[in-house]
């Protein structure tokens, strides 16, 4: 059985698609997706030897060698152009995810959907999607084993349509329950869909982010260095801003 996090990603796959799971580790997602019929076939990509071997074993044990191809390589280099319609990347930082997508941009021709679950740096991923003209069609947030995860689904639409829809999505606005106007920077940070219809986990995430920042700030405040004082002031402003929004 998949974790709730991987199940949510699986549910976002276009039914019957061919997909590539980049950084697949044990290939749990491709195996479950193909076994359940959610996907027709998959490529499991891994850059590291250990996880690559684990993925090969898992696929062989599941009897899925003919439908899941396990490949060793960096990022999108493991897929051929036009080979898959959907790409999933989960369980790594947003900065690494953006570098994988940028480096492999030519492999994205023909890809219709990206399903991305960054562990941190969700704003970097949203910004990249927006700049590259992907339409953020869904956002999910969930808590599992004390951790909070965000899953971003983006679709390739006709260029003008994506631009118009993204403009609407990131339009500066006042959101019910929030005391402040959300501008594009705040929407990139918190998620335009997540903040539009906030669930309790969303508030839990931002409460915990504020507490983390307050902790770091109180550490820094003990330092006498000029640079630390500037950093502390920056954090104070950031904390106030987040508190105002929520």
Binding residues for ligand SAM (CB under 6 A):
22-25, 45-48, 51, 74-75, 90-92, 96, 100
Q: Which two tokens stand for residue 205?
A: 């995430």
d(CA 101, CA 87): 10
Beta carbon of residue 8, minimum distance to ligand SAM (angstroms, whole number): 11
Burial class (CB in 10 A: 0-12, 13-18, 19+), 8: buried
Strand partners, 63: none
Residue 31: CB partners within 8 Å, gap ≥ 6? 58, 59, 62, 64, 68
Cα–chain-centroid distance for residue 70? 22
Beta carbon of residue 23, minimum distance to ligand SAM (angstroms, whole number): 3
- Cβ neighbours of 87 (radius 10 Å): 25
Nearest residue to the partner ligand SAM, using Cβ = 23
Nearer to ligand SAM, 93 or 133 (CB): 93
d(CA 164, CA 139): 19
Q: To 10 degrees, the CA torsion angle through 47, 48, 51, 52? A: 60
Beta carbon of residue 198, minimum distance to ligand SAM (angstroms, whole number): 25
Beta carbon of residue 26, minimum distance to ligand SAM (angstroms, whole number): 7
Q: What share of the chain is helix, strand, coil (3-state, %, to 5)?
A: 50, 20, 30
Nearer to ligand SAM, 74 or 218 (CB): 74
CA distances from 84 to 17, 65, 161, 185, 221 (A): 8, 17, 23, 32, 51
Q: Which two tokens stand for residue 149?
A: 């995860």
Nearer to ligand SAM, 115 or 162 (CB): 115
Beta carbon of residue 228, minimum distance to ligand SAM (angstroms, whole number): 33
Beta carbon of residue 127, minimum distance to ligand SAM (angstroms, whole number): 20
Beta carbon of residue 32, minimum distance to ligand SAM (angstroms, whole number): 11
Query: What are the φ/ψ torsions at residue 159 (nearest 5 degrees)?
Result: -50, -50
């Amino acid at each position: 059985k998949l974790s709730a996090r991987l199940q949510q990603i699986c549910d976002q796959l276009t039914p019957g698609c061919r997909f590539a799971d980049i950084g697949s580790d044990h290939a749990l997602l491709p195996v479950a997706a193909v076994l359940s019929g959610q996907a027709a076939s998959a490529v499991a990509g891994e850059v590291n030897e250990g996880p690559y071997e684990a993925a090969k074993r898992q696929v062989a044990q599941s009897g899925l060698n003919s439908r899941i191809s396990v490949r060793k390589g960096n990022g999108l280099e493991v897929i051929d152009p036009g080979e898959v319609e959907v790409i999933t990347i989960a369980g790594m930082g947003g900065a690494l995810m953006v570098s994988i997508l940028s480096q492999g941009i030519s492999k994205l021709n023909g890809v219709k959907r990206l399903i991305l679950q960054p562990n941190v740096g969700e704003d970097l991923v949203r910004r990249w999607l927006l700049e590259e003209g992907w339409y953020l069609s869904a956002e999910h947030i969930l808590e599992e084993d004390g951790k909070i995860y965000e899953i971003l689904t983006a679709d390739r639409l006709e260029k003008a349509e994506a631009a118009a829809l993204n403009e609407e999505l990131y339009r500066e606005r006042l959101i019910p329950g929030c005391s402040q106007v959300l501008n594009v920077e705040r929407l990139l940070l918190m998620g335009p869909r997540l903040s539009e219809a906030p669930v309790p986990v969303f508030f839990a995430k931002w409460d915990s982010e504020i507490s983390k920042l307050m902790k770091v700030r109180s550490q820094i405040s003990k330092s006498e260095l000029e640079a630390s004082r500037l950093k502390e002031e920056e954090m104070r402003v950031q904390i106030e801003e987040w508190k105002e929004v929520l």
